[in-house]
Structures are given as structure tokens and as C-alpha cells.
Chain A
Amino acid sequence: MDPITGLPSSRRSTLSDDAHREGLTTETHDWTLVKAIDLVADQKVVVIDGEKPIEEACDILTRNNISSAPVYDASTKSYSGMFDWADVMTYLLIVLKKKDASQQLEKTDAELSAEFNDLVKLASHCQPVPVKLASDLSKKNPFYSVLPETSLLQVVELFGSGTHRVAVVDANGIIKGILTQSRVVNYFYQNVTKFPPIEQLFPKTLNELDIGKGFVISASSDSFVLDALTMMIKNGLSSIAIVDSEGMLLGNISMTDVKYVLRSYSHVLMWKTCQQFVSTVRSRQGLEDGQDRYPVFDARPTSTLGYTIAKLSATKAHRLWVVDERMRAVGVLSLTDVLLIFARSAGANPKPKRVSSLSLSSPTSQSE
């Protein structure tokens, strides 16, 4: 692999204007004509029963190593939404925000754990909350579906406007698979040499493509996790940068990190500072993987698109933080941004649902 462009190292440039004509070489294809069903052919779909309590639904996500699953409502015989970690986080914040952080820190882990379970039950009048009611609390992940024959171009347009995943549903209403932004970007990466218009984009830098810039929402490392999470929910973010007093990027907190909070005796994590939260989560991840990760997944404005795609693929991250030479975040490059570029290269022009590097001003202060 070429470490600069992310392309296979044996590759020579194959820039051709005739990319849309099939059969020009034996290997190039028109990616816009690929069908949605082709990308999910091997998938085993996990569906959550809408009557299940939230705790069980979380367990299903963790056990299957997925970050979201469709929720089936038997009473309406339809899919009521997608349940994901952002919904869990939103639910937790509603339940926990009445507590006083300094009092909480005095309790033992066992006390916090018992209290947490009681709180969750009390919040829903002594009945566990069924998933079908919680499945769209965060309003970030509505249920989109496409037909198996839907073209990849249409899917990429949808993704380029900020949707993270779609269900591929056949004419009988059966879900054939869940197509995510990650899966699509990975598909492009694995097959880049088949798609010359995409391959041409790989050596271009983020600067040249004018992506990965803008203000970055961040929280200071010694602010409280609950405050940072509340800010994320308010701004519709799936991840927030954690910075030190000089604005240097130390790490990030993502919605998916909530799965570490839900493990028994880890509820105390919710009362910690951002830095403590990040440390605990990364340490756990490192143990589970048998290898530690770099604290920040980043790229420079001078990195190529190909490099960032290779890195997103390898790390399975949904975004890279774009940093300057002093490790200060100057933008974010998300899967949405990558797919927006691909859509535009095919002549489409998706309208972003929200700008991916948000233009809100300063980091939170501790008093918030």
C-alpha cells in the first residue's frame, strides 16, 4: 500500500474519461450502478423486539458488536425505528441529571450500581421502558429504508447528507440487511482500483478538496462528563473532542462509549471528568483488543483523501480529527464528508442535514 495516497502500491494511474462505459477494460466498473443489496449480501440481520426492556436491547448491541439495530413493533407489524447507543445515552441523561455530582462521587461502586438500576426503573413508573418507546429518543437515527435494487448512487447521496445507515427492505417488508456509511466507505476502499473516478480522488489532500475544516465543538478535560454529553445531545453530535488548557486534542468521547458505562460497577464513570472517562474507556478497549490504540485518530489538512479513508477503514472509526502541527483540532473529517465527495464526483449534490464541523464557538467552561 502507498502510505501517502492509500492506494495499492502496484497501481499506476488509470485516469480515463470513459469510466462510464462498461467493458472498456475487464476491471473497471461504474460504481453508481452497483445495487444496495450487493453490499449486504452476507449479512445476518439483528432485529430487536420492541417490547424488550432497554437493558436487554443494550445487551443485544454489545453481544453482536453493532452500534444500532432496527426495532420491530409487533402491534403495528412494522419497524418503529433504529435503536442505538445515542438513544441509550439520551435516556441515561434524562434519568441521571437530577443527581448532584459531588454527592455521587462519595458513594461506592456497588451503591451507585444499585441506585442506577432503581433509577432506571423509577423513571418509567416501575416498569422497564420498552425499547420501541426509546428507540428514537435522540432523534438522530430515524428509520430509513431502501429497496434492494436501489442504486449505490442514491444511497451515497443519502449518506452524503448525513444519514448514517439505511435498512435494505424487500417488497415483502423483510429487512435483507443494514447498510451503514462504514460498510460503503470500506467497499470503496477495497475496490478502489475498479472505480477510476474514485481512484482519482485518493491522492488529493483535504485542503484541495476543501473538507475537514471549521470550528470543532470541544469540552475541557477537567469538565464533567455529564456536561459534555448534554452538550453533545443538544447539538446533535455523535462525538466531542476533549482538549487540554491549551486547546490541544487529548482524546474524544463518542456516543458508542456509553456501552462501557453500562457494564456493572462502571456507572461511576458518569460522574467523572472527561479525561478520567476517556482514560477508563481506552484502557478497557486496549485490554479487549490486546493492543492499545493511539489516544486520538487524526489527520492533517495535508493528508490525502486516500490516507484518511484507509485510516477510517482500519480503525473502524466514524471520523478523524483534523489537527494542525500543534495538535489543535482545526476540523473534523467524517464518513459523511467522504461520501459527500463521492456523491459530488458523480454529479449529485446532497444537501447536508447539518454542517459536519459545527460553527459554535468556545469550549465549555467548567461552570456549565
Chain B
Amino acid sequence: MGLDLDACISQLLQKQLLDESLLKEICEKTKELLMRESNVIHISAPVTVVGDIHGQFYDLIEIFRIGGDSVECSQNIRLVRFPAGDYVDRGLFSVETISLLTCLKLRYPDRVQLVRGNHESRAVTQTYGFYTECVRKYGSTHVWNYFTDMFDFLTLSVVIDNKIFCVHGGLSPSIHSIDQIKILDRFREIPHEGPMADLVWSDPDPDKDEFAISPRGAGYTFGGQVVKKFLEINQMEHILRAHQLCMEGFQVLYDDRLSTVWSAPNYCYRCGNMASILEVGVEGQRFFNVFDAAPENDRDGPSQQMSIDRKEKIQYFL
């Protein structure tokens, strides 16, 4: 195996793009790995759960810093972390972000779990930025194809210690038992409707009890009664999800039966929100580690990108 993952990871940590041919190989190998995973992965605490990142590369690095271990010292990694989807779109460095996460998954397959979010889809990435970024940085659609093909293999959910159910979006009216998730065919583009779409698109509604159609145009909103019933039927204690911006970085609902974790601080470089990662302990304790945007964003953010674009334009016309 000629692939030097540690070298790739070092390179990506310097925010250097990997070669297109290297990415092709990495995505192929990752697909083979992901194919063997179930739609519901069972793991044990201690675990760190990361929410939406949306291409905010420097904030991902910040997450590794505050999460308590550095990626280079592999022996020190005790925590299993899994970003709960939405790695790409909107931020400036979606390519670097997803490249790094994919390499980490390949390098530490049992310590990193990647769960599919609604943005890990062809339709959504064509609208919200990842497609454009791939074409701009690599000159063709190949890299976008490699990644979106790999997204088709990402798992849909994780269960921690048989007590905490983690999914990107939320619940589905078609899914009462977690066993029903296990038999879905997930190896495809996210459909517009149906249980797989619901799991990545749904949102809790604190003012409701039941399901209603979502204003997002996919998935549902669901309420307290639905959550209670789901936890009872599946003998679980808590639902953990991401998918919605939280100004404080996280939100807890329904008498601590459901939490939202959001990990992109100062979302889109303008929302001014905090972010968090959730640390689950072996006794089932849940701690939201809240953090602010990384200072590097000021040195290498939207205004720097704009002047880079302008310089490129001028060079072309000279």
C-alpha cells in the first residue's frame, strides 16, 4: 500500500491541498471501509461528538485543540470523536476540511466515525458552495465526484452505550424502532423523501408534540411526544443531533431528552454565534465544551479570499 496517510494528514494540517490522484485513491479506500459499517454504529464512551462544521477549517483545528488531544500524538487519542455530518458547504475551506476528515477516518477507523448530514449530497453541494469550491481549486468536477460518491457510503447514525441515539437531523414518522434504520439501503444519493431523507433533514419543534411537514422542504418537524415514544420503544435515554444553528453553541430540549450540538462558530464568518462539542463520559455524563471562532479566521477569511479572487482576475486580463 503506497499511501502514506500520516504524510497526507500533515500536509492537510498545513492547509495544503492534496493531489487529485491522491484524493481519488483515498476516497476509494474509504468507501471500502465504510461499506462494512452498519447504518447504525454502536460505540462506547468516552466519546466526543462534533456537530456541523461547514468547511470552517480553522475551527476544525480549534476543535482538535480543545478536545484535548493533538492529532499527531496517536497514542494519546483516547476519545472517539465523530462529526455528526455537514462537513462541507458555506465555509471557505470545505475541500481541506473533508480531505482531512476522510484521511483521519482512514487512519483511525475505529476512533473516528463520520455520520452523513444533509449537506453530504450532490443536490445540496451544488447549491451551497462545495461544488463551486472543488471546481475552483482543482479545475474540474472530478474531486467533487470522488467525494460525493464517497458520501453515499457514510453511515446514518451512531448509538453510544445503548443509551444515546445520534443522528444528523432527527426523527422520521416511518421509523419507530432503530432496527428499521438498520435495514435501509443507504448506499445512494439522499432521496427527497422517505426515512433516509427524514433522518438527515428533520428538526425538533419545542412548541409541538407530533410530526409536521418541515419548512425546509424536506423531512419533518417533530415534538416532545414523538421523542418520548421513540426513547421508550428503543429503551434509550437521549437523542443527540446537529443540523440547526445555535447561538450558544448547543441547545437542550424536552426535559433533557434531546440536544443539538453546533460546531461552526461565527457561522459563515458573520453570525457571531458560539459553538460547542459534546463530551460524553463513561457514566453517561454529558458536557458541552463551548468555544469561540479561531483567531486564524481573521488572517485568512472572506476579505483575504476576495482580494485573492480580484488578483486572479487582474492577472487573467493583463
State the A residues within 8 Å of B (CB).
1, 3, 6, 9, 106, 108, 250-251, 275, 278-279, 282-283, 286-287, 289-298, 307, 310-311, 313-317, 327
Contact = CB atoms under 8 A, between A and B. Distances in A.
B217 A296 contact: yes
Nearest to A298: B192
B123 interface: yes
Most chain-A CB neighbours within 10 Å: which of B201, B217, B243, B270?
A: B217
Nearest to B244: A291
A257 to B, nearest CB: 13
Interface of B: 90, 118-119, 123-124, 126-129, 132, 173-174, 192, 201, 203, 210-218, 220, 243-245, 267-268, 270-271, 310, 313, 317
B270 A250 contact: no
B90 A283 contact: yes
5 contacts: A1-B173, A279-B132, A293-B216, A296-B217, A310-B212
Contacts of B215: 289, 293, 314-316
B210 A9 contact: yes
Contact of B217 (A6, A290, A315): A315
Contact of B214 (A9, A250, A290, A314): A314
Contacts of A292: 118-119, 124, 128, 216
B212 A291 contact: no
B72 to A, nearest CB: 34
Given A106-B313, A287-B270, A295 B123 contact: yes
Contacts of A307: 213
Nearest to B317: A106
Contacts of B124: 292, 294-295
Given A291-B203, A294-B217, A1 B210 contact: yes
Contacts of B244: 290-291
A3 B220 contact: yes
A290 B270 CA distance: 12
Contacts of B220: 3
A295 B268 contact: no
Contact of A295 (B127, B213, B245, B313): B127
Contact of B123 (A9, A290, A296): A296
Contacts of B313: 106
Given A291-B244, A292-B118, A294-B201, A250 B192 contact: no
A297 B123 CA distance: 12
Contacts of A251: 127
Nearest to B218: A294
B211 A282 contact: no
A5 B109 CA distance: 43
Nearest to A313: B213
Contacts of A283: 90, 127-129, 268
A279 B192 contact: no
Given A251-B127, A293-B217, A314-B214, A3 B245 contact: no
